[in-house]
């Protein structure tokens, strides 16, 4: 029968286009390659708790809520988080003066762009609608 062969070549083409679509997204490539939770544990947790109460920085769920409020897409929020972390400034901050006067400005991160991208996407994914709007209270 001819049909199975035709089927499998269609499947192969779909599979290949799936692969190239994945490679086209830098966010997807980074999250596939890196254990973002481990990046958080190693480089962020010392200052950022997961949930309120905040210790020395806004909790991860607050950061997620804040960036979801400021950006329409995960990719745009991730790009802004990465840019902020490489060179934090009050002008780039989505928290603004309140958080900066309470906690001080975050120090620049020197880990790789891929790690920054993966951990930023992971932060976006930690959103919990019951956790509030990121006001760190």
Chain residues binding ligand HEC by CB under 6 A are: 43-44, 46-48, 56-58, 63, 81, 84-85, 88, 93-95, 99-100, 103-107, 109, 119, 123
Q: How many CB atoms lie within 10 A of CB 108?
A: 11
Of 22 and 112, CB closest to ligand HEC: 112
Of 6 and 46, CB closest to ligand HEC: 46
Task: Round to whole Å and give the CA distance between 130 and 32.
Answer: 28
At how many degrees (to 10) do helices 74-86 and 26-33 cross? Answer: 70
């Amino acid at each position: 029968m001819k049909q199975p062969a035709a089927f499998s070549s269609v499947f192969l083409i779909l599979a290949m286009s799936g692969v190239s679509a994945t490679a086209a997204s830098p966010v997807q490539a980074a999250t596939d390659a890196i254990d973002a939770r481990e990046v958080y544990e190693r480089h962020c947790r010392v200052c950022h708790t997961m949930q309120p109460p905040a210790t020395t920085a806004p909790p991860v769920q607050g950061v997620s809520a804040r960036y979801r409020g400021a950006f329409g897409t995960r990719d745009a929020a991730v790009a802004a988080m990465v840019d902020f972390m490489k060179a934090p400034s009050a002008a780039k901050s989505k928290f603004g003066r309140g958080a900066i006067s309470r906690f001080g400005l975050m120090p620049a991160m020197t880990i790789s762009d891929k790690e920054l991208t993966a951990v930023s996407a992971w932060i976006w994914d930690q959103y919990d609608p019951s956790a509030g709007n990121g006001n760190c209270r």
